[in-house]
Amino acid sequence: MLKGYVPPYNATVVQKLLDKGAVLMGKTNLDEFAMGSGSTDGVFGPVKNPWSYSKQYREKRKQKAHGENEDSNWLITGGSSGGSAAAVAAFTCFAALGSDTGGSTRNPAAHCGVVGFKPSYGLVSRHGLIPLVNSMDVPGILTRCVDDAAIVLGMLAGHDPKDSTTIQDPVKPFTLPTFADVNKLCIGIPKEYLAPELSSEVRSFWSKAANLFESEGAKVIEVSLPHTSYSIVCYHVLCTSEVASNMARFDGLEYGHRCDINVSTEAMYAATRREGFNDVVRGRILSGNFFLLKENYENYFIKAQKVRRLIANDFVNVFNSGVDVLLTPTTLSEAVPYLEFIKEDNRTRSAQDDIFTQAVNMAGLPAVSVPVALSNQGLPIGLQFIGRAFCDQQLLKIAKWFEKQVQFPVIQLQELMDDCSSDFEIEKLSSVSLKQ
Protein backbone atom coordinates (compact mmCIF):
# COMPACT_ATOMS: atom_id res chain seq x y z
CA MET A 1 0.00 0.00 0.00
CA LEU A 2 2.77 2.49 0.90
CA LYS A 3 5.59 1.13 -1.27
CA GLY A 4 7.57 4.10 -2.58
CA TYR A 5 5.66 6.59 -0.45
CA VAL A 6 7.74 9.43 1.01
CA PRO A 7 6.08 11.23 3.94
CA PRO A 8 6.08 15.05 3.85
CA TYR A 9 7.32 15.37 7.46
CA ASN A 10 9.43 13.49 9.99
CA ALA A 11 8.08 11.60 12.96
CA THR A 12 8.85 13.35 16.25
CA VAL A 13 11.27 10.61 17.32
CA VAL A 14 13.14 10.91 14.02
CA GLN A 15 13.31 14.70 14.22
CA LYS A 16 14.59 14.55 17.81
CA LEU A 17 17.39 12.22 16.74
CA LEU A 18 18.31 14.51 13.85
CA ASP A 19 18.31 17.52 16.16
CA LYS A 20 20.77 15.69 18.43
CA GLY A 21 23.13 15.01 15.51
CA ALA A 22 22.25 11.39 14.85
CA VAL A 23 22.98 9.96 11.40
CA LEU A 24 19.96 8.15 9.98
CA MET A 25 21.02 5.24 7.79
CA GLY A 26 17.65 4.25 6.36
CA LYS A 27 14.45 2.34 6.96
CA THR A 28 14.29 -1.32 7.92
CA ASN A 29 11.98 -4.11 6.84
CA LEU A 30 9.10 -5.42 8.94
CA ASP A 31 5.85 -7.34 8.76
CA GLU A 32 3.35 -5.42 6.65
CA PHE A 33 1.82 -2.65 8.78
CA ALA A 34 3.54 -4.27 11.81
CA MET A 35 1.11 -7.19 11.78
CA GLY A 36 3.08 -10.33 12.54
CA SER A 37 5.60 -11.92 14.88
CA GLY A 38 8.20 -13.21 12.46
CA SER A 39 8.99 -10.40 10.00
CA THR A 40 8.09 -12.84 7.24
CA ASP A 41 5.13 -10.97 5.72
CA GLY A 42 6.75 -7.74 4.58
CA VAL A 43 6.37 -6.32 1.09
CA PHE A 44 10.16 -6.53 0.67
CA GLY A 45 10.26 -10.18 1.67
CA PRO A 46 11.16 -11.90 4.93
CA VAL A 47 13.97 -10.74 7.22
CA LYS A 48 16.80 -13.18 7.89
CA ASN A 49 18.22 -13.48 11.38
CA PRO A 50 21.98 -12.69 11.44
CA TRP A 51 22.45 -15.58 13.85
CA SER A 52 21.65 -17.90 10.93
CA TYR A 53 25.19 -17.10 9.74
CA SER A 54 26.93 -16.96 13.10
CA LYS A 55 29.85 -19.17 13.97
CA GLN A 56 28.09 -20.24 17.17
CA TYR A 57 24.99 -21.53 15.35
CA ARG A 58 26.72 -23.11 12.37
CA GLU A 59 29.16 -25.04 14.52
CA LYS A 60 26.24 -26.55 16.42
CA ARG A 61 24.49 -27.48 13.17
CA LYS A 62 27.57 -29.30 11.89
CA GLN A 63 27.25 -31.69 14.80
CA LYS A 64 23.82 -32.84 13.63
CA ALA A 65 22.83 -34.80 10.57
CA HIS A 66 20.51 -32.90 8.26
CA GLY A 67 19.61 -32.97 4.61
CA GLU A 68 18.42 -29.46 3.87
CA ASN A 69 20.47 -26.81 2.14
CA GLU A 70 22.35 -24.69 4.69
CA ASP A 71 21.11 -21.43 3.15
CA SER A 72 17.51 -22.48 2.54
CA ASN A 73 16.39 -22.85 6.14
CA TRP A 74 17.62 -19.68 7.80
CA LEU A 75 16.17 -18.41 11.07
CA ILE A 76 13.41 -15.85 11.54
CA THR A 77 14.10 -12.62 13.43
CA GLY A 78 10.81 -12.42 15.24
CA GLY A 79 8.60 -9.44 14.66
CA SER A 80 7.23 -7.23 13.73
CA SER A 81 10.32 -4.98 13.98
CA GLY A 82 12.63 -7.72 12.70
CA GLY A 83 14.61 -5.54 10.33
CA SER A 84 15.55 -3.18 13.15
CA ALA A 85 16.66 -6.04 15.41
CA ALA A 86 18.67 -7.65 12.61
CA ALA A 87 20.40 -4.36 11.77
CA VAL A 88 21.52 -3.89 15.37
CA ALA A 89 22.54 -7.53 15.80
CA ALA A 90 24.66 -7.41 12.63
CA PHE A 91 26.47 -4.22 13.76
CA THR A 92 24.96 -2.27 10.88
CA CYS A 93 24.00 0.57 13.21
CA PHE A 94 24.33 1.81 16.77
CA ALA A 95 20.60 1.64 17.47
CA ALA A 96 17.32 1.21 15.66
CA LEU A 97 13.71 2.18 16.23
CA GLY A 98 10.70 -0.05 15.93
CA SER A 99 7.11 -0.02 17.06
CA ASP A 100 5.82 -2.04 20.00
CA THR A 101 2.09 -2.74 20.14
CA GLY A 102 2.11 -6.24 21.61
CA GLY A 103 5.80 -7.09 21.79
CA SER A 104 7.06 -6.11 18.35
CA THR A 105 10.31 -4.68 19.72
CA ARG A 106 10.98 -7.19 22.50
CA ASN A 107 10.17 -10.32 20.48
CA PRO A 108 12.77 -9.75 17.72
CA ALA A 109 15.25 -8.49 20.30
CA ALA A 110 15.09 -11.83 22.09
CA HIS A 111 15.52 -13.79 18.86
CA CYS A 112 18.40 -11.61 17.61
CA GLY A 113 20.35 -11.35 20.86
CA VAL A 114 19.92 -7.60 21.40
CA VAL A 115 18.21 -5.33 23.91
CA GLY A 116 14.62 -4.39 23.10
CA PHE A 117 13.04 -1.63 25.18
CA LYS A 118 9.38 -0.63 25.27
CA PRO A 119 8.93 2.69 27.13
CA SER A 120 5.93 3.55 29.28
CA TYR A 121 2.94 4.61 27.21
CA GLY A 122 3.11 8.41 26.99
CA LEU A 123 6.83 8.79 27.66
CA VAL A 124 7.77 8.92 23.96
CA SER A 125 5.77 10.65 21.24
CA ARG A 126 3.78 8.59 18.75
CA HIS A 127 3.47 11.48 16.28
CA GLY A 128 4.49 10.17 12.86
CA LEU A 129 4.18 6.52 13.85
CA ILE A 130 1.74 4.82 11.49
CA PRO A 131 -1.01 3.80 13.93
CA LEU A 132 -1.86 0.16 14.41
CA VAL A 133 -3.52 0.28 17.84
CA ASN A 134 -3.51 3.87 19.10
CA SER A 135 -4.12 2.90 22.70
CA MET A 136 -1.13 0.52 22.81
CA ASP A 137 1.38 1.70 20.19
CA VAL A 138 4.75 2.83 21.54
CA PRO A 139 7.98 3.60 19.65
CA GLY A 140 10.51 0.98 20.75
CA ILE A 141 14.30 1.05 20.97
CA LEU A 142 16.73 -1.69 19.91
CA THR A 143 20.40 -1.59 20.90
CA ARG A 144 23.24 -3.95 21.76
CA CYS A 145 23.34 -2.97 25.44
CA VAL A 146 21.11 -1.38 28.05
CA ASP A 147 23.25 1.76 28.37
CA ASP A 148 22.75 2.48 24.67
CA ALA A 149 18.98 2.09 25.06
CA ALA A 150 19.06 4.63 27.89
CA ILE A 151 21.02 7.07 25.72
CA VAL A 152 18.45 6.87 22.93
CA LEU A 153 15.56 7.09 25.39
CA GLY A 154 17.07 10.27 26.80
CA MET A 155 16.92 11.81 23.34
CA LEU A 156 13.33 10.75 22.65
CA ALA A 157 11.46 11.06 25.95
CA GLY A 158 9.36 14.07 26.80
CA HIS A 159 6.23 16.01 25.99
CA ASP A 160 5.20 16.56 22.39
CA PRO A 161 2.40 19.05 21.64
CA LYS A 162 1.59 16.96 18.57
CA ASP A 163 0.76 13.93 20.75
CA SER A 164 -1.73 14.63 23.54
CA THR A 165 -0.95 11.31 25.24
CA THR A 166 2.63 12.32 26.11
CA ILE A 167 3.52 13.36 29.64
CA GLN A 168 3.39 17.03 30.58
CA ASP A 169 6.16 17.06 33.20
CA PRO A 170 9.81 17.66 32.24
CA VAL A 171 11.86 14.49 31.84
CA LYS A 172 15.12 14.05 33.75
CA PRO A 173 18.23 12.68 31.98
CA PHE A 174 18.22 8.90 31.71
CA THR A 175 21.67 8.24 33.12
CA LEU A 176 22.28 4.76 34.50
CA PRO A 177 24.70 4.75 37.42
CA THR A 178 25.95 1.41 38.68
CA PHE A 179 23.13 -0.28 40.57
CA ALA A 180 24.37 -1.31 44.02
CA ASP A 181 21.17 -2.03 45.92
CA VAL A 182 20.26 -5.43 44.53
CA ASN A 183 19.72 -6.73 48.05
CA LYS A 184 16.88 -4.21 48.46
CA LEU A 185 14.98 -5.42 45.40
CA CYS A 186 11.85 -7.52 45.31
CA ILE A 187 11.60 -9.53 42.08
CA GLY A 188 8.22 -10.96 41.11
CA ILE A 189 7.85 -14.21 39.16
CA PRO A 190 4.34 -14.47 37.64
CA LYS A 191 3.13 -18.04 38.05
CA GLU A 192 0.74 -17.69 35.10
CA TYR A 193 3.71 -17.17 32.75
CA LEU A 194 4.83 -20.77 33.20
CA ALA A 195 3.11 -21.66 29.93
CA PRO A 196 2.92 -25.30 28.79
CA GLU A 197 4.47 -24.29 25.45
CA LEU A 198 7.50 -22.72 27.15
CA SER A 199 10.67 -24.51 26.06
CA SER A 200 12.72 -26.30 28.69
CA GLU A 201 15.77 -24.15 27.93
CA VAL A 202 13.94 -20.85 28.36
CA ARG A 203 12.40 -22.19 31.55
CA SER A 204 15.84 -23.18 32.82
CA PHE A 205 17.42 -19.78 32.12
CA TRP A 206 14.42 -18.05 33.68
CA SER A 207 14.96 -20.07 36.85
CA LYS A 208 18.72 -19.43 36.82
CA ALA A 209 18.12 -15.69 36.48
CA ALA A 210 15.80 -15.71 39.49
CA ASN A 211 18.42 -17.65 41.45
CA LEU A 212 21.06 -15.10 40.44
CA PHE A 213 19.05 -12.25 41.97
CA GLU A 214 18.37 -14.33 45.06
CA SER A 215 22.05 -15.16 45.50
CA GLU A 216 22.84 -11.43 45.47
CA GLY A 217 20.38 -10.76 48.29
CA ALA A 218 17.25 -9.78 46.36
CA LYS A 219 13.88 -11.05 47.49
CA VAL A 220 12.36 -13.27 44.80
CA ILE A 221 8.69 -14.17 45.21
CA GLU A 222 6.00 -15.84 43.16
CA VAL A 223 3.16 -13.48 42.22
CA SER A 224 -0.15 -13.87 40.47
CA LEU A 225 -1.56 -12.04 37.47
CA PRO A 226 -4.89 -13.88 37.51
CA HIS A 227 -6.36 -12.49 34.28
CA THR A 228 -3.36 -13.42 32.12
CA SER A 229 -5.27 -16.29 30.52
CA TYR A 230 -7.67 -13.77 28.96
CA SER A 231 -4.97 -11.50 27.55
CA ILE A 232 -4.58 -13.18 24.15
CA VAL A 233 -8.29 -13.07 23.31
CA CYS A 234 -8.68 -9.59 24.79
CA TYR A 235 -5.73 -8.29 22.80
CA HIS A 236 -7.06 -9.86 19.59
CA VAL A 237 -10.44 -8.15 19.90
CA LEU A 238 -9.01 -4.73 20.78
CA CYS A 239 -6.14 -4.91 18.31
CA THR A 240 -8.20 -5.93 15.29
CA SER A 241 -10.92 -3.42 16.13
CA GLU A 242 -8.47 -0.52 16.13
CA VAL A 243 -6.72 -1.95 13.07
CA ALA A 244 -10.01 -1.91 11.16
CA SER A 245 -10.49 1.73 12.08
CA ASN A 246 -6.93 2.82 11.32
CA MET A 247 -6.64 0.96 8.03
CA ALA A 248 -9.79 2.67 6.72
CA ARG A 249 -7.70 5.73 5.82
CA PHE A 250 -5.82 3.76 3.15
CA ASP A 251 -8.39 4.08 0.39
CA GLY A 252 -6.23 5.14 -2.56
CA LEU A 253 -7.49 8.71 -2.64
CA GLU A 254 -5.04 10.73 -0.55
CA TYR A 255 -1.79 8.74 -0.65
CA GLY A 256 -0.39 5.29 -1.21
CA HIS A 257 -1.37 2.72 -3.81
CA ARG A 258 -4.38 3.40 -6.03
CA CYS A 259 -5.95 0.98 -8.47
CA ASP A 260 -6.72 2.31 -11.96
CA ILE A 261 -10.25 0.87 -12.06
CA ASN A 262 -12.70 3.66 -12.97
CA VAL A 263 -16.00 1.78 -12.95
CA SER A 264 -17.08 3.31 -9.65
CA THR A 265 -15.65 4.70 -6.44
CA GLU A 266 -16.67 1.55 -4.57
CA ALA A 267 -14.96 -0.67 -7.14
CA MET A 268 -11.80 1.44 -6.93
CA TYR A 269 -11.82 1.23 -3.12
CA ALA A 270 -12.24 -2.54 -3.16
CA ALA A 271 -9.55 -3.15 -5.79
CA THR A 272 -7.10 -0.75 -4.12
CA ARG A 273 -7.40 -2.43 -0.74
CA ARG A 274 -7.33 -5.90 -2.25
CA GLU A 275 -4.08 -5.11 -4.07
CA GLY A 276 -2.58 -2.92 -1.34
CA PHE A 277 -3.01 -5.20 1.69
CA ASN A 278 -1.76 -8.74 2.14
CA ASP A 279 -3.89 -11.58 3.51
CA VAL A 280 -2.81 -10.97 7.10
CA VAL A 281 -3.83 -7.30 7.08
CA ARG A 282 -7.10 -8.02 5.30
CA GLY A 283 -7.87 -10.77 7.81
CA ARG A 284 -7.39 -8.46 10.76
CA ILE A 285 -9.50 -5.75 9.15
CA LEU A 286 -12.33 -8.24 8.64
CA SER A 287 -12.07 -9.49 12.23
CA GLY A 288 -12.09 -5.97 13.61
CA ASN A 289 -15.09 -4.91 11.57
CA PHE A 290 -16.96 -7.96 12.84
CA PHE A 291 -16.28 -7.01 16.46
CA LEU A 292 -17.37 -3.43 15.78
CA LEU A 293 -20.71 -4.35 14.21
CA LYS A 294 -23.65 -2.84 16.09
CA GLU A 295 -24.91 -6.27 17.15
CA ASN A 296 -21.45 -7.36 18.35
CA TYR A 297 -20.02 -4.17 19.85
CA GLU A 298 -21.25 -4.71 23.42
CA ASN A 299 -20.44 -8.42 23.54
CA TYR A 300 -16.94 -8.12 22.13
CA PHE A 301 -15.33 -4.69 22.12
CA ILE A 302 -16.85 -3.31 25.33
CA LYS A 303 -16.22 -6.56 27.22
CA ALA A 304 -12.63 -6.64 25.97
CA GLN A 305 -12.13 -3.10 27.29
CA LYS A 306 -13.34 -4.24 30.71
CA VAL A 307 -11.03 -7.25 30.66
CA ARG A 308 -8.15 -4.97 29.70
CA ARG A 309 -8.78 -2.95 32.85
CA LEU A 310 -8.70 -6.14 34.93
CA ILE A 311 -5.37 -7.11 33.35
CA ALA A 312 -3.92 -3.67 34.07
CA ASN A 313 -5.19 -3.85 37.65
CA ASP A 314 -3.37 -7.16 38.12
CA PHE A 315 -0.08 -5.36 37.53
CA VAL A 316 -1.09 -2.49 39.82
CA ASN A 317 -1.90 -4.92 42.63
CA VAL A 318 1.43 -6.73 42.25
CA PHE A 319 3.49 -3.54 42.25
CA ASN A 320 1.50 -2.12 45.17
CA SER A 321 2.39 -5.24 47.15
CA GLY A 322 6.05 -4.21 47.13
CA VAL A 323 7.36 -5.85 43.97
CA ASP A 324 9.91 -3.69 42.13
CA VAL A 325 10.08 -5.52 38.81
CA LEU A 326 8.68 -8.65 37.23
CA LEU A 327 11.01 -11.18 35.63
CA THR A 328 9.51 -13.24 32.80
CA PRO A 329 10.47 -14.97 29.55
CA THR A 330 10.25 -12.83 26.43
CA THR A 331 9.42 -15.62 23.98
CA LEU A 332 8.43 -19.26 24.22
CA SER A 333 11.63 -20.47 22.61
CA GLU A 334 14.66 -19.50 20.59
CA ALA A 335 14.30 -18.41 16.96
CA VAL A 336 13.00 -21.14 14.67
CA PRO A 337 13.86 -21.85 11.01
CA TYR A 338 11.76 -20.01 8.44
CA LEU A 339 10.43 -23.19 6.83
CA GLU A 340 9.16 -24.38 10.19
CA PHE A 341 7.68 -21.01 11.09
CA ILE A 342 5.52 -20.65 7.98
CA LYS A 343 3.75 -23.96 8.57
CA GLU A 344 1.32 -22.27 10.98
CA ASP A 345 -1.26 -19.57 10.38
CA ASN A 346 0.06 -16.06 11.07
CA ARG A 347 -2.65 -15.20 13.59
CA THR A 348 -1.98 -18.38 15.54
CA ARG A 349 1.75 -17.69 15.59
CA SER A 350 1.29 -14.10 16.71
CA ALA A 351 -1.00 -15.11 19.56
CA GLN A 352 1.42 -17.76 20.77
CA ASP A 353 4.64 -15.78 20.39
CA ASP A 354 3.34 -12.65 22.13
CA ILE A 355 1.86 -14.38 25.17
CA PHE A 356 4.43 -12.78 27.52
CA THR A 357 4.43 -9.32 25.97
CA GLN A 358 0.88 -8.30 25.01
CA ALA A 359 -0.40 -7.65 28.53
CA VAL A 360 2.37 -5.09 29.11
CA ASN A 361 1.05 -2.97 26.24
CA MET A 362 -2.52 -3.23 27.49
CA ALA A 363 -1.32 -1.95 30.87
CA GLY A 364 0.94 0.78 29.41
CA LEU A 365 3.99 -0.37 31.39
CA PRO A 366 7.70 -0.22 30.50
CA ALA A 367 9.44 -3.49 29.66
CA VAL A 368 12.83 -4.53 28.36
CA SER A 369 14.11 -7.77 26.87
CA VAL A 370 17.73 -8.57 27.71
CA PRO A 371 19.71 -11.38 26.03
CA VAL A 372 20.81 -13.86 28.67
CA ALA A 373 22.59 -16.80 27.03
CA LEU A 374 22.83 -19.08 24.02
CA SER A 375 20.72 -22.20 23.73
CA ASN A 376 22.05 -25.64 22.94
CA GLN A 377 21.55 -24.69 19.28
CA GLY A 378 23.84 -21.68 19.68
CA LEU A 379 20.95 -19.20 19.48
CA PRO A 380 20.01 -16.24 21.71
CA ILE A 381 17.49 -16.50 24.52
CA GLY A 382 16.09 -13.35 26.10
CA LEU A 383 14.33 -12.59 29.37
CA GLN A 384 11.95 -9.71 30.05
CA PHE A 385 11.84 -7.22 32.91
CA ILE A 386 8.56 -5.36 33.50
CA GLY A 387 8.47 -2.20 35.62
CA ARG A 388 6.04 0.25 37.14
CA ALA A 389 4.55 2.91 34.87
CA PHE A 390 7.02 5.78 34.26
CA CYS A 391 9.72 4.07 36.33
CA ASP A 392 11.65 3.43 33.13
CA GLN A 393 15.00 4.55 34.54
CA GLN A 394 14.74 2.21 37.54
CA LEU A 395 13.82 -0.64 35.20
CA LEU A 396 16.82 0.01 32.97
CA LYS A 397 19.16 0.23 35.96
CA ILE A 398 18.09 -3.24 37.07
CA ALA A 399 18.36 -4.57 33.51
CA LYS A 400 21.85 -3.09 33.23
CA TRP A 401 22.95 -4.85 36.42
CA PHE A 402 21.58 -8.14 35.12
CA GLU A 403 23.22 -7.63 31.73
CA LYS A 404 26.58 -7.12 33.41
CA GLN A 405 26.23 -10.36 35.36
CA VAL A 406 25.29 -12.64 32.49
CA GLN A 407 27.67 -11.17 29.87
CA PHE A 408 25.86 -12.41 26.79
CA PRO A 409 28.37 -13.50 24.12
CA VAL A 410 28.86 -11.30 21.08
CA ILE A 411 27.76 -12.72 17.75
CA GLN A 412 30.55 -14.07 15.56
CA LEU A 413 29.43 -13.40 12.02
CA GLN A 414 31.09 -15.45 9.29
CA GLU A 415 31.70 -13.48 6.11
CA LEU A 416 29.29 -14.49 3.37
CA MET A 417 31.54 -13.39 0.52
CA ASP A 418 33.38 -16.25 -1.21
CA ASP A 419 36.64 -14.32 -1.31
CA CYS A 420 36.72 -13.67 2.43
CA SER A 421 36.82 -16.35 5.09
CA SER A 422 37.62 -14.23 8.13
CA ASP A 423 35.31 -14.07 11.12
CA PHE A 424 33.82 -10.86 12.40
CA GLU A 425 34.23 -11.04 16.15
CA ILE A 426 34.37 -8.66 19.05
CA GLU A 427 35.92 -9.87 22.28
CA LYS A 428 33.61 -9.97 25.25
CA LEU A 429 34.45 -9.41 28.87
CA SER A 430 34.48 -12.46 31.12
CA SER A 431 32.02 -12.54 33.98
CA VAL A 432 29.32 -14.67 35.54
CA SER A 433 27.47 -16.73 32.94
CA LEU A 434 24.14 -18.51 33.04
CA LYS A 435 25.45 -21.41 31.02
CA GLN A 436 23.34 -24.52 30.99
- The catalytic site residues sit at 80, 104
Asked whether 97 and 13 are in contact (CB, 8 A), the reply is yes
Asked whether 244 and 236 are in contact (CB, 8 A), the reply is no
Selection from 413, 399, 390 nearest residue 121 by Cα: 390
Distance separating alpha carbons of residues 428 and 425, to the nearest angstrom: 9
- Residue 215 parent element (H or E): helix 200-215
If one counts every other C-beta atom within 10 angstroms of the C-beta of residue 154, the result is 17
Distance separating alpha carbons of residues 145 and 404, to the nearest angstrom: 10
Distance separating alpha carbons of residues 377 and 396, to the nearest angstrom: 29
If one counts every other C-beta atom within 10 angstroms of the C-beta of residue 398, the result is 27
Give the neighbor-by-neighbor strand order of the sheet with 186-190.
95-100, 138-143, 115-118, 367-374, 380-386, 325-329, 186-190, 219-223
Distance separating alpha carbons of residues 327 and 387, to the nearest angstrom: 9
3-state secondary structure (DSSP) of residue 369:
strand
Distance separating alpha carbons of residues 200 and 337, to the nearest angstrom: 18
Asked whether 108 and 116 are in contact (CB, 8 A), the reply is yes
Asked whether 142 and 135 are in contact (CB, 8 A), the reply is no
Distance separating alpha carbons of residues 166 and 175, to the nearest angstrom: 21
Q: DSSP assignment, residue 20? A: T
Distance separating alpha carbons of residues 436 and 157, to the nearest angstrom: 38
Contacts for 112 with CB less than 8 Å, ≥ 6 apart? 49, 50, 51, 77, 78, 82, 85, 86, 88, 89, 335, 380
Kindly report whether the peptide bond that precedes residue 80 is cis, defined as omega within 30 degrees of 0.
yes
